[in-house]
Structure formats: structure tokens, C-alpha cells
Amino acid sequence: MEVAKLTDVTRIYKIGEVETRALNGISLTIQDGEFTSLVGPSGSGKTTLLQLIGCLDQPTSGRVVIVGKETTNLSRNQRADLRKGTIGFVFQFFALIPTLTAYENVEMPLLLNGKSASERKQRVMELLEAVDMTDRAHHRPDQLSGGQQQRVAVARALAPAPKMILADEPTANLDTENGEQVMEIMKRLNKETDTTFVFATHDPRVIKYATRVVTLRDGVIEKD
Amino acid sequence: MNYLKMAYRNLGRHRRRSMLSALALGLGTALLMFIAAFFQGEMRGSMETTLRLNTGHLQVSNTEYDPDKLSVAWEYLIEKPDQAAAKIETLEPVRAATPRLVASGIVSVRDESAGVQIMGIDPASPANEPYQTLVDGEFLTADDRSGVLIGYPLAESLNLKVGDSLQLLVNTSDGDVDEQQFTVRGIFTTGTSAYDKGVVFLPLAKAQSFSGAENRASYIFVLLHDREQAEAVASAIQGQNLRIRTWTEMNELLVLVNDFSNAYLTFINLIVLGVTATVIVNTLLMSVFERTREIGILTAIGMKGRQVIALFLAEAALLGMAGIAFGAAVGWAVSAYLGRVGVYFGDLGISGEMLLEDRIYPYLTLESAINLIVTAFVITLLASLYPARMASRMEPVEALHSAQ
């Protein structure tokens, strides 16, 4: 099954009079259960591509279909709805909500999906255990190391059981050991839950885990 | 994890800033509550004083009587006032009805003099109770033929003591003047200097003979148990050549000022609350800008626009509740304390239709307190819609970019 299908997608950023062509006619299909790396130097369009797959942004032209649903004409709220159950995000910076504990951060997407209290509790504990964070469940982000925060972020991304997780440079701010640990966890979860993972990265440590590597350069796919 | 809990923690991130904004709202609320209490106390006091001392709830007079003239010419006066008063007093809503004769006159002591109202009263009537608070001496008796009661400020200015003599000059019924010597029996105070300095009391019988009014009076002064009954009682009183005026007719200006004061208070409320609302808006705007990335994360994981609005409104609501609760408590406490001891203003020099006591007692009604609290809260929330909507409209990509 195709979780994401991009057809001839172009994204142009316009800042003042200057147009930047971040993506230039890209077509890409991502299948269910992939563990794919988008690689390329900075400025090659990795992050933009990831944001388009994640419905965080819309293409200037071309079509983006996510789990069979055309996203081009969706409103902001409709896109939020689509993201909510389908796509999880892991960001480069440790994007946890600072006022919430690890537990509450993981719980948040479940709340937004309207899950019951007992369902939430069970799911959160299950996920915290999967990322080995059970003993730190009630710590706030500022009491956690970078690696620990990123593991919580992975758990949060997985919480609503999405089809696909998009990770933008997930190891960029981690040391080797923590980076490896996060990748191991993601790899294991990919196998166990069959969730699709797509990374934007230029970290060789991440690339070596990937089952598919898509190389971008100047807004086009150079190698797949 | 609900919005209020998240909001509470978000406010806790900048505790001092949150407290200062809540404090601004609190001080505004306290100030407004005190202003409302002060205004209402003033209006209420003024109305009560004016009714009690000046006009009563009803006045029954001859149709020809002109209250501004103080003439005791017979054609202006009411005949057999005792009978009429006794009859009115039998009506159930009436607390007291008593004849009064008012003439203009001059008090002179040695080479000093002062223009006064000479008022003949029935010393036994409960309607004259406000004049029975004496600084010195005794109250009048009905058969006293040479005693007068004067107010404290008049006694001060003419340097009179109980037992001293004074000359009283009166404009009589036949258009002439008469002059007699009287003795100060007592010195009274009503708490309203403007009133006390301009009136000299005599027993009604003496006033009638002194002014030549004989068995007549200027009007019958009527007090009711409930002033709202004035119209009903007025229509129940019948008699030829009688004119009945209610307190609302006699105090048009005061009634008008009273009504106007509510509009005035609402206006002040809106101005002050508008200012405090900008403080809250500013605080929320700062937090929206600081938390741009966070809002991006929340929208990325599926939070919708209206949920973002709810989150920020929850913060405004908490700030608002804390500030308003604090302000209402302070405002209430100050109003209650000053309401008991009063605020001394002295003789404001206002006389005539509107009388003010020398002390104003702030008085807070539950209605105006609730009104203020609700208005303050609603304004805070309405003002907060602006930053909240701004947060909700951030595109997740841009929000996330701003962090990197």
C-alpha cells in the first residue's frame, strides 16, 4: 500500500522578490513499512519534502496524496485532522512541550484524538516502556537528557498509531551513543508495528539503518 | 491534562510577569469597585438626607403655594393643617405626617446677622427626629413661647450658646416684618452643615402667631415606610385646593443625577478595564511570540485552531480570575471599611435641592459588584481573542522554522 504518493511536486518559497525553488518537480512514492532516508546536503530540499509529506506545508504545484487522500485542497484544519491519526513527527530539536511531563507529552496526541482516560494510560505506559523511559515518566523535559527527550518524542509520534513517522534530522543533536539508541528503537518499532519511517538526514549513522535511501540535490531526486 | 491545567503551568513559566498582569487587572477592579461604592454611597446618602431633611416623601400644600418664595401670605397656606395631617397619618403606608410653617427671616446677634428659614414644627412628630441630635441644650416643647433651636454651624458663626438671646426678624403674612427676642434652647446637628446653618426651628404654634399665619401652615410634610408608595398615597389623599407633590417631583435633579451616575460608572468601567485589558493582551502576545515553536509542535501533532484559541483563552481566564478575585476582595474590603467609618468631606457648599452629609459612606450593592466582576472578565476574554487567534493562525511550518 502507498502511504504517500507525490507527483511532480514543486515548492517555491518567495521571500521578497527572491524566489527559491526548494523542490523542482519531484515524484516519489513511499510504501507501507518502509524505513527510508532522504539524504542530501543542506539546502537540497529534504526538510521541505518531509513537510509536504507531513501536510505541514502545501506544494506550489503538483499533487500530494497521503494514504489515498488528495491533500492539495485541504484547509488548515482538515490537514490538522489528517495529520492527527496518520502522521507522527520527530523533530531535530527535542520538540517536547516544556510544561508537560514525559507522560503528558506522549498523552497529548491521544487527547487530541479523543481517546478515553483508560485507553490513554495504557497506551502511554506501553510506549514509554517501548522507548525505555518508564522510570522518567513524570519528569519534565528540562530534567531529561537530549537522548531521553528524543526517545519521548519518538513515543509521542507513535502514540496515535500513525501510518507513518516523519523524522527531520532526529540524531543531529545527539551524541553517537544516544543517536544509535534512538535509531535502534525506531528500527525495532518499524519492525514490530510495521509503521513507515521517513528520515531527512545527512548523518551516516542514520543512513546505515535505512532500507531505502533517496538522495536529493538542488530540489530534485539524484538517486533512489 | 486539560486546558486549564496547561494554562496554569504556562502562566507559571513567567511567574512575575503573570502576577504583574493579574495585579494590573486587580488594581483596576479594586479601584472601580471603590468608585462604584463611593458613587452609590454618595447618591444614596444625598437622596436619604434630602428626603429626610428637606422634602420628605410627599408634601401636601395649597395649590397656590410656591416653595421657592417662602411667603406666609394666607392665600398660599393650607387651612386646618392639624386635621389634614391627622387624617393623612391614618393611611397605612404613612409613617408620619406633620404640618410645617416656613417663613423667611433674619437672625441677628449684636451687630451680626444671617438670613435663615424660620421653620415652625410640631416637636412631638417623629418626622422631626433628625433635628433631635443635640450638641447642647434641649429640644423644643410645643408650648415654648420664647425658645428656638439653631444648628451648630449657625451657633458657631454667630458665637451663640445655649441660653443666649437672639433677635429674630420675620416676614409676616400681611407683608410686613416683625421682630422678637428669643432664647437659644438647644443646638442641633443633622450631619449636613449646609442645612444646619440656614434654619431656625420654633414650635409650630409660636411660629404661626409670630408670623401672623394664625392657624395655617405652609405644607404637610409626609414620610412613608416605603418611598415607592408615594404615588399610591398621593392619589389616596383628597381635598379641595390641595396640591400633592411626591419626592420624585420635588427632587427632579437628584433623580436625574442618580440615573445618570449609572451610565457614568459604566463609562468609567469601560475605560479602566480597556486599559487593564491591554496589559493582559500584551502579556499573552509576548507568550504567543515566545511559544511560536511550541504552537507549531502542537499543530503538527494535530491540535486544531480552535483548540489553540482555547488554550490561550484559558490562560487569559486564569489571569483574569486571579486578578479580578484579588481586586474584588480589596475593593470590597476598602469599601466596607470606609462604608462604616465614612469619608469626611465637610461642608461642600452644596445647598438647595441636593443635600450632602459632611461624611460620605461608600455603599456597595451586590448588583454593581457582580456587574463589575462580569464586565471585567468578559472584557479580558474578548481582548484575549486577538492574541489567541493570532496563535491559532500560525502555519505549522513557519512556526517550526522560527525555532531553527
Residue of A91, A92, A111 lying closest to B1 (CB–CB): A111
Tell me the domains of chain A and their CATH numbers. 34-56+73-223 (3.40.50.300)
CB burial readout B232-270, b (16+ within 10 A) else e: ebbeebeeeebebbbbeebbeebeebbeeeeeebeeebe
Residue type, A146: G
Mean pLDDT over A58-76 rounds to 86
The per-residue pLDDT for range B216-234, each reduced to its tens digit, is: 999 999 999 998 999 999 9
Q: Given a cut of 90, is residue B27 above it in pLDDT?
A: yes
Residue of B303, B396, B397 lying closest to A112 (CB–CB): B303
Position B353 scores a pLDDT of 61
> Do the bridges between strand A164-168 and strand A87-90 make them parallel or antiparallel, or are there none, so unpaired?
parallel
Domain coordinates of chain B in residue numbers? 3-51+254-401, 64-240
Chain A residues inside the 8 Å CB shell of B9: 99-100
Percent over 70 (pLDDT), chain B: 96
Residue A88: in which H helix or E strand, if any? strand A87-90
Position B262 scores a pLDDT of 81
Residue with the larger pLDDT of the pair B188 and B8? B188
The per-residue pLDDT for range A80-132, each reduced to its tens digit, is: 888 877 888 888 776 888 888 999 999 988 888 888 889 889 989 988 988 88
> CA of A142 to nearest chain B CA: how many angstroms apart?
13
Backbone angles phi, psi at B97, to 5 degrees: -140, 125
> CA of B314 to nearest chain A CA: how many angstroms apart?
15
Q: Does A140 touch chain B (CB under 8 A)?
A: no
Judge contact between A14 and A209, C-beta under 8 A: no
Q: Given a cut of 50, is residue B205 above it in pLDDT?
A: yes
The per-residue pLDDT for range A24-36, each reduced to its tens digit, is: 888 888 988 888 9
Q: Starting at the edge strand that comes first in sequence, how are the strands of the sheet with A18-31 ordered? A: A18-31, A2-15, A61-66, A69-70
The confidence band for B66, taking pLDDT boundaries of 50, 70 and 90, is: confident
Q: Does A12 touch chain B (CB under 8 A)?
A: no
Chain B residues inside the 8 Å CB shell of A22: none
Q: Given a cut of 70, is residue A55 above it in pLDDT?
A: yes
Q: Given a cut of 90, is residue B200 above it in pLDDT?
A: yes
Mean pLDDT over A204-223 rounds to 84
Q: Given a cut of 60, is residue B402 above it in pLDDT?
A: no
**Residue from B2, B13, B291, B301 to probe the interface with A (highest A Cβ count within 10 Å):** B301
Cross-chain residue pair A76–B10, CB shorter than 8 Å:
no
The confidence band for A75, taking pLDDT boundaries of 50, 70 and 90, is: confident
The confidence band for B404, taking pLDDT boundaries of 50, 70 and 90, is: very low
CA distance B295 to B311: 10
Position A25 scores a pLDDT of 87
CA distance B392 to A7: 30
Position B199 scores a pLDDT of 93
Q: Given a cut of 90, is residue A205 above it in pLDDT?
A: no
Helices (H), chain A: 46-53, 76-86, 102-112, 117-130, 146-158, 176-193, 204-207
Chain A residues inside the 8 Å CB shell of B15: none
Q: Given a cut of 70, is residue B350 above it in pLDDT?
A: no
Q: Does A99 touch chain B (CB under 8 A)?
A: yes
CA distance B256 to B48: 15
Helices (H), B291-304: 292-300
> Which residues 6+ apart lie within 8 Å of B20 measured at CB?
none
Cross-chain residue pair B12–A99, CB shorter than 8 Å:
yes
> Which residues 6+ apart lie within 8 Å of B87 measured at CB?
none
Position B1 scores a pLDDT of 53
Position B120 scores a pLDDT of 95
Q: Does A113 touch chain B (CB under 8 A)?
A: yes
The confidence band for B352, taking pLDDT boundaries of 50, 70 and 90, is: low
Cross-chain residue pair B6–A99, CB shorter than 8 Å:
yes
Position B403 scores a pLDDT of 44
Q: Does A54 touch chain B (CB under 8 A)?
A: yes
Cross-chain residue pair B304–A81, CB shorter than 8 Å:
yes
Q: Given a cut of 50, is residue B373 above it in pLDDT?
A: yes
Position B399 scores a pLDDT of 64
The per-residue pLDDT for range B233-288, each reduced to its tens digit, is: 998 887 778 899 999 988 888 888 888 888 888 889 889 998 888 888 988 898 88
Q: Given a cut of 80, is residue B346 above it in pLDDT?
A: no
Q: Does B4 touch chain A (CB under 8 A)?
A: no
Judge contact between A16 and A65, C-beta under 8 A: no
> CA of B10 to nearest chain A CA: how many angstroms apart?
7
Judge contact between A139 and A101, C-beta under 8 A: yes
Q: Given a cut of 60, is residue A137 above it in pLDDT?
A: yes
> CA of B388 to nearest chain A CA: how many angstroms apart?
16
Judge contact between A90 and A153, C-beta under 8 A: yes
Mean pLDDT over B60-82 rounds to 88
**Other CB atoms closer than 10 Å to residue A11's CB: what's the count?**
22
**Other CB atoms closer than 10 Å to residue A12's CB: what's the count?**
14
Which residue of chain A has the CA closest to B2? Answer: A111
Q: What angle do CA B30, B261, B322 make, to 5 degrees?
A: 20
Mean pLDDT over A158-187 rounds to 84
Local structure of A164: helix, strand or coil: strand
Q: Does A169 touch chain B (CB under 8 A)?
A: no
Position B354 scores a pLDDT of 66
Lowest average pLDDT, out of A19-23, B91-95, B112-116, B130-134, goes to A19-23
CA distance B376 to B78: 55
Judge contact between A125 and A134, C-beta under 8 A: yes
ipTM for this model: 0.83
Position A209 scores a pLDDT of 85
